[in-house]
Amino acid sequence: MPRYQTEPLRCWGKAKELRLTYYKDYAEAHAKGGLRWSGGSWTPCSIPRGFGDDVYALTSEPYAASIAFDRKFSMRCLEAAEKLGFARDLCSYMLNYIGSVVLNEYAFGGPFPTPDFIFQTHICCTHGKWYQAVNDLKGKAAPIYIIDMRAGACPPFYEMNSHKIDYIADQFLDGIDWIEKTTGRPFDEERFLEAVWTELRTVSLWPKIAELNQAVPAPLEEKTMYALYVLATLDKAWKTIPDFYEELYDEVKDRVDRGIAAVENETIRIMTHAQPPWGFLGMFRTMEKMGAVSIGSLYTFGLEGVWRYDAK
């Protein structure tokens, strides 16, 4: 017998709609007179936003995850990357992305939309080299700027000092000058500051939502959270995202107040670690049949959420 009442998220359809709008806007940017840029999901999206609301992003990891969800397409992408000499044990995000470029197939239909410029932060060991490899492909090159986030400014990020701040800020300032020269567009500081505030709203609202999963029963389970946290990885400076997160927070808080469960027979609570198994998300449904609910992971909680921990 079910232990708890459950119901679908009312805003689920809206979340899917936002995601599809994002990928469609990127693909159709040129038809609207706009620009396209690509980079990792940790790239400061507020900087390109300073060059206009018609500058659309394609962040690489969530796009590659969309490929992974389609196993047949993912396999063709991985094989295409391997044929170019990329080893199988390299980052699967990178291999799916490169394969999509090589095949000239966009996961959401049509040919792959090449960016007008690449604006990337080098955090993970493949991030900077990822786009350098793409630029080595014939006919796929785009102007590229990479920000080093590892040397001198590497974690732990809570140990801040003037050296770390200056090291990153100087690269940001040089990057703004570079985008101006590359695109021929002026940088609008007011637009940029508004975008920074939007990013801050995004990365503070998601932890508030995730924190609600302390409740018993858990109002969300990890498979659903993948589709929700990923919105912040698309473009944190897109005002639509934090606006949606405010709506999502209210709904999840209401679920907690009414005792609405993500898994009606919750008896065991677990947390997972690292990257989601994008090609095998059905494993979570198998776990739920046995009463096990995954309340999240380091990835879902912290990748796009800013937390402050009290050590006391």
15-114-78 Cα angle (round to 5): 75
Give the pLDDT score at 141.
Answer: 79
Q: What does the alpha-carbon distance between residue 188 and residue 48 come to, in Å, rounded to a whole number? A: 10
Give the whole-angstrom CA distance, residue 253 versus residue 271. 21
Tell me the C-alpha distance between 29 and 53, whole Å: 11
* Low-confidence residues of the chain: pLDDT under 50: none
| Amino acid at position 246, single letter | E
Does the CA dihedral 47-298-158-248 come out positive or negative? positive
What is the pLDDT at residue 155? 58
Helix 222-234 × helix 189-211 angle, to 10°: 170
Q: What pLDDT was estimated at residue 208? A: 96
The answer to whether residues 275 and 299 touch, using CB atoms and an 8 Å cutoff, is yes
Is pTM, for the whole model, over 0.85? Answer: yes
- Domains along the chain with CATH numbers: 14-188 (3.40.50.11890), 195-302 (no CATH)
Q: Which two tokens stand for residue 113?
A: 């939309």
Q: Two tokens at 295?
A: 């309340």
CA distance 88 to 82: 7
Q: How far apart are CA 64 and CA 83, in angstroms?
A: 18
The total of other beta-carbon atoms located within 10 Å of residue 298's CB is: 12
pLDDT at 311: 64
Residue 74 pLDDT: 96
